[in-house]
């Protein structure tokens, strides 16, 4: 195990001892377990209604704003078609789990995919970067199949540190971002147009989603955890809001497109 990995494991163990569990990763995994299972059941039911003995059509998923990691990758064996989109093209071979990558601005490009293409859409830590979240949510809603699932994570402006970070003048924030992030490549322009639970719920409902569930979790120590001072600052932020769910740093959201019978 290399030094960096050992430090990160020690910090994760400390967060667990302090009761800062579950983390975002566990909540997203639970949401995706449900979403992928739901998609398999819907595809199975479709096959049962069709020709006898026909295999269920494969599950089709989108990572919207896929960056360089995808929590969907662990479901690869259960996915028939795995698409990633981002405004930045990945380095060749960087996302080996994808079947397709397309350069797409989610806040524009409504015709990037035909309607009702995907069973599951994951969009992880993207909403804070969206110039027009309403357009992005409407695009994703159109591209999801009836009954399809959306899983989102983003930052919560109701946390005082997040509010301060999003409220910084652009020039200052551009200098701070590479310090708290793993690398300059992870420092994307921030907008924060739809980054509190109420605004997010309203925007998703307006775009046609139902069964919108918005959970909160403290994630600053983990997100800023590469360096000790920013890990410590994040830890203070997580502990400050541990008992105040509406003010925790990070939102984990699930929502559905109304099903075929709706």
Ligand X SMILES: C[S@@+](CC[C@H](N)C(=O)[O-])C[C@H]1O[C@@H](n2cnc3c(N)ncnc32)[C@H](O)[C@@H]1O
Binding site for ligand X (CB under 6 A): 65-67, 69, 86-88, 104-107, 124-126, 129-130, 188
CB of 185 vs ligand X, minimal distance in Å: 9
User: Smallest distance, Å, CB 23 to ligand X?
Assistant: 13
Cβ-contact 141, 257 below 8 angstroms = yes
- For ligand X, the closer CB: 187 or 240: 187
Alpha helices in the chain (DSSP H): 3-17, 24-49, 133-143, 160-167, 170-180, 197-206, 220-223, 228-240
Indicate the residue among 174 and 188 with the shorter CB distance to ligand X.
188
Tell me the closest approach of the beta carbon of residue 207 to ligand X, in angstroms. 15
Structure letter (DSSP) for residue 45: H
Nearer to ligand X, 126 or 249 (CB): 126
Strand order in the sheet with 59-64: 100-103, 79-86, 59-64, 118-124, 144-155, 250-256, 210-217
Q: How far is the CB of 48 from ligand X (least distance, A)?
A: 34
Using the minimum distance from each CB to ligand X, give the nearer residue, 103 or 246: 103
Integer Cα distance of 93 and 99 in angstroms: 11
- Nearest distance from C-beta of residue 124 to ligand X, angstroms: 3
Q: With respect to ligand X, which residue has the nearer C-beta, 70 or 216?
A: 70
**Least distance between ligand X and beta carbon 214 (Å):** 18
Which single residue brings its beta carbon nearest to ligand X?
67
The pair of three-digit structure tokens given for residue 189, joined into one six-digit string: 């322009």
Closest approach of ligand X to the CB of residue 152, in Å: 10
Task: State which residue, 147 or 225, has the beta carbon closest to ligand X.
Answer: 225
With a CB cutoff of 8 Å and minimum separation 6, the contacts of 197 are 156, 158, 214, 216, 246, 251
Q: Which is nearer to ligand X, 43 or 159 (CB)?
A: 159
42 or 140, CB closer to ligand X? 140
DSSP-assigned letters across all residues of 135-192: HHHHHHHHHEEEEEEEEEEEE-TTSHHHHHHHHS-HHHHHHHHHHHSSSGGG------
Q: Please, what is the minimum distance in Å from the beta carbon of residue 49 to ligand X?
A: 35
Residues paired with residue 122 on neighbouring β-strands, in sequence order: 63, 151
With vertex at residue 238, the alpha carbon angle to CA 65 and CA 220, rounded to the nearest 5 degrees, is 30
SS3 128: helix
């Amino acid at each position: 195990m290399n030094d960096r990995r050992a430090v990160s494991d020690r910090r994760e163990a400390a967060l667990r001892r302090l009761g800062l569990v579950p983390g975002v990763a566990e909540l997203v995994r639970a949401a995706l377990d449900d979403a992928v299972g739901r998609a398999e059941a819907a595809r199975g039911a479709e096959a049962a209604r069709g020709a006898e003995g026909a295999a269920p059509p494969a599950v089709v998923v989108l990572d919207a704003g896929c960056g360089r990691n995808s929590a969907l990758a662990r479901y690869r064996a259960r996915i028939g078609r795995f698409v990633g989109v981002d405004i930045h093209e990945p380095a060749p071979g960087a996302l080996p789990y994808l079947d397709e990558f397309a350069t797409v601005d989610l806040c524009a490009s409504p015709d990037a995919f035909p309607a009702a293409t995907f069973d599951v859409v994951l969009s992880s830590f993207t909403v804070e970067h969206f110039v027009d979240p309403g357009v992005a949510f409407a695009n994703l809603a159109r591209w999801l199949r009836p009954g399809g699932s959306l899983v989102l994570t983003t930052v919560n402006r109701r946390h005082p540190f997040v509010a301060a970070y999003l409220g910084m003048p652009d020039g200052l924030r551009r200098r701070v971002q590479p310090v708290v992030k793993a690398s300059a490549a992870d420092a994307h322009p921030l907008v924060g147009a739809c980054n509190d639970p109420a605004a997010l719920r309203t925007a998703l409902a307006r775009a046609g989603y139902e069964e919108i569930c918005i959970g909160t979790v403290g994630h600053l120590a983990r997100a800023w955890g590469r360096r000790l001072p920013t890990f410590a600052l994040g830890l203070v932020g997580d502990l400050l809001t541990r008992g105040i769910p509406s003010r925790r740093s990070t939102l984990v959201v699930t929502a559905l497109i109304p099903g075929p019978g709706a």
